Amino acid sequence: MTRYVLVRGVRCATGTEVIDHFSPPPSLLAPDLWEADASTIRAVVAAAAFESPHSARAAIRCTAALFSWAHEMGLSTDPEALFTPDRVDAYVGSKSSLTVRSRGTYRSMLRRVGRAATVRAPWPPLAEDLGPGAAASTPYTADEVHRFWQAVDAQATKRRRRTMRTILALGLGAGVRTSELVEVTAADISLHEGAGVLCLTLTDRVTPIRAEYADVVDDLCARNPTGPLIGAPTSARDRLHRYAKGTEIPMDVPPLKVRRLRSTWAVAVLSSGITISEFNRIAGGVSARTLDMLTQHVPCRTKHGEYLRLAAGR
């Protein structure tokens, strides 16, 4: 896993270096517009403090694209006017050629930049946790999730590969909490007869495994038919920390946290069109504060005012 990115032929190992050397291709932002907007774009992305060069490059590209769109639409490029929840959602909603995951990455990046770069823009405050009575951690971006999966095979031992694969599969696939993750066994995973999908049965709920992770979970069960999927039990007080000790995470991605995996799972589930009551049933109950934070990352169905028709019962 490289710890740098090439920007105009320069190896950049930090977010700051990426921002300093970046210039967009003409297809992203016209040269004359970049000349006029460069200092502002660099300043707003720098304010968001992306440590990873990969994330910084993605963020400054998203920001340059937002400025290009603003010029096309005849909108102000003043950060306080451009970086608002409505403006960002309108821009991301206009990117119909992108996949849902890519639009999610754009939205997440621009919201982070917007919060850091504005004072008056009406951004709701971010919360920090995810669980009953607590607020949620910021979800990982699609790029960060991809890089975590790439890091699985780079682990030095079979045990560490199993540990990291289990944490990712159950965190992103079923939104398990830390205390639950170390207890899940193959016996807890089964095909739901009515729904026809792989599900995890916990003490307080039945949670479907997200389709993109179902094969990984199924393989973990096949390879480890007895005992916790994450590995042999330990008597250590902080059991997950003991399991994950020595797991190597690239320096240019955020730390791997089960709470953030659960938030990432929650946003994916809420984006699927499920109702709040149904989400609470499979998530094990979440607070209103948690839902408020999570919905900041859930895209609106803005095409042709679809959400308005749904709300009107049509």
Q: Taking residues 101-123, what's their average pLDDT? A: 83
What pLDDT is stored for residue 243 in this prediction? 60
Average pLDDT across the chain, whole number: 84
Question: For residue 199, what are the CA distances in angstroms to 47, 178, 284?
Answer: 42, 18, 14
Question: For residue 128, what are the CA distances in angstroms to 31, 138, 145, 168, 212?
Answer: 40, 7, 19, 20, 26
Please say if the pLDDT value at position 60 is more than 90: yes
What pLDDT is stored for residue 105 in this prediction? 79
Rounded Cα–Cα distance for residues 123 and 293 (Å): 11
- Phi, psi torsion values for 11, nearest 5 degrees: -75, 115
pTM score? 0.57
What pLDDT is stored for residue 115 in this prediction? 86
Q: Taking residues 114-129, what's their average pLDDT? A: 70
Question: For residue 202, what are the CA distances in angstroms to 162, 237, 281, 284?
Answer: 21, 22, 12, 9
What pLDDT is stored for residue 109 in this prediction? 86
Q: Alpha helices, DSSP H only, in 175-210?
A: 178-181
Question: Residue 39: how many CB atoms within 10 A of its CB?
Answer: 9
**Coil vs helix vs strand at 184:** coil
Rounded Cα–Cα distance for residues 141 and 164 (Å): 18
